Amino acid sequence: MGDVLHIRGRILAGPDDVRDELWVVGGRISYERPAAEAVAVEGWVLPGLVDAHCHVGLDAHGAVDRDTAEKQALTERDAGALLLRDAGSPSDTRWTDARDDLPRIIRAGRHIARTRRYIRNYAHEIEPGDLAVYVRREARRGDGWVKLVGDWIDRDTGDLAPCWPKDALAEAIAAAHQEGARVTAHCFAEDSLADLVTAGIDCVEHATGLTDETVPLFAEHGVAIVPTLVNIATFPRLAAAGEAKFPRWSDHLRTLHARRHETVRNAYDAGIAVYTGTDAGGGLPHGLIAAEVEELVTAGLPVEAALSAATWGARKWLGRPGLTEGAPADLVVYDADPRADVRVLAAPRRIVLRGNVVG
C-alpha cells in the first residue's frame, strides 16, 4: 500500500472540519500518529474530487477500446478526480476496479433512450412498453444508478421534446427503486421535468430547462441536479451547426445557454442539491473537473458550496467516504487554499490514490 505518509498543512476534511495533519497507513487515513517513520507531504488537502457525470469508455462515436478508456481514467486522476459516476456507457469498465492506480467508477449501466432519439451507438433504443424491463436490467449491471434519456430532438417538430409518457416513467423508476438503484435522466429542455419528478426521479443531468414552476417541485421532492456547465458552454456551437436543418432547436439551445448561470443559481437558492459533473467522454475531453467548479462559482454559488459539490457533499451523496478515519486515502494536495480561489484546483501538487502517491 506504499509508504506511510504524514500529510500536514491544512486538511479540509469538511466545510467545518479543518485539521493540521493526518497520516496514511496501509492505504487508509488515520488521525493517530503511527510508530512507523513517515514521508512528509505538505499543502492544502481536499478529498479526491468527484466528477459525477462523465463517461469513461465512451467517445463521440460510441464504445472505445481498453487503452483509450485507460487514458481517459488517467486523465481524470491527474486532474484530481478520484471518484467518477459514469453516467451511461456501452463499455464494460469493470476491469478498472482491479487497478489501484485508477479512479473508482460508480456505473449507471448503458443509457436507455427512445428509438432514434439519442446519439448513435450510445444507448439501448427502445419503446415505452419495454422501459421498465431495460431499467431493471441496467440497475443490475450498474452500481446503484440507472441513466435515462429524458428528452432529445424530435425530428418531426424540429425541437427538443420529452421521450417518455408519464405511466412508463413511473413504472420504470419504481422498478429501479425496487432493485435498489437510483435513477437520473439527461434533460436539456423544460417539458420533461415535471413528469420525471412526479414519477420519482432522483437526479437530473444538465437541467437547463428548470423554470420558476419546476424549481420548487425539485426542491420539494429532493431531486438533485448535475448541471455540467462546461458542457452547456458548447450549446452555441451546436446551435450554429444545426441551424439550417433545425432552426427551432437551435434557438432553444441558445436560450437555454443564455440563462444557464441564472438557472443554476436559482436552483441552489431554492435548496436543490447541486453536484459537479463535466459530461466528459462524449464530445468533451476528460480532466475538466476544476473548470466545472469554477463555473459553479461563476453561476453564483458560494465557494464552499461549489467545493462541496465536488468533494464532501458529492461523496456523501454517492455513499463514498471523504477524509474520515479508516477511509481509503484518496486525496489531493494543493499549494494554496482553494477556498480563497477555486482556480487552485486546476494545479494539484500531489495526488494520493488508495494510499499511493500517483501524481
Strand 5-14 and strand 39-47: the pairing is parallel
Centre a 10 Å sphere on the Cβ of residue 17 and count the other Cβ atoms it contains: 12
When pLDDT is cut at 50, 70 and 90, the band that residue 282 belongs to is confident
Q: What angle do CA 187, 244, 189 make, to 5 degrees?
A: 15
Share of the chain above pLDDT 90, in %: 98
Indicate whether this model's pTM tops 0.95: yes
Q: What is the mean pLDDT of residues 193-214?
A: 98
pLDDT tens across 332-352, in order?
Answer: 999 999 999 999 999 999 999
Which grid cell is 230? Answer: 462546461
Tell me: pLDDT of 324 over 80: yes
Mean pLDDT confidence for 291-298: 98
Sign of CA dihedral 355, 326, 293, 264: positive
List domains and CATH numbers for the chain.
5-46+322-357 (2.30.40.10), 49-318 (3.20.20.140)
Which DSSP category does 129 fall into?
A: G
Q: What is the DSSP letter of 284?
A: B
**CB of 4 within 8 A of CB of 37?**
yes
Q: Where are the beta strands (DSSP E) in the chain?
A: 5-14, 17-25, 28-30, 39-47, 49-54, 58-59, 62-63, 81-86, 104-107, 112-114, 124-126, 145-149, 151-154, 159-162, 182-187, 203-206, 224-226, 331-334, 350-353, 356-357
Q: Which residues partner with 203 through β-bridges?
A: 184, 224
Residue-wise pLDDT tens digits, 83-135: 999 999 999 999 999 999 999 999 999 999 999 999 999 999 999 999 999 99
Please write the tens of the pLDDT for every residue from 38-71.
999 999 999 999 999 999 999 999 999 999 999 9
Mean pLDDT of the region 71-83: 98
Residue 313 C-alpha cell reads as 457533499
- Residue 5's φ and ψ, nearest 5 degrees, are -115, 145
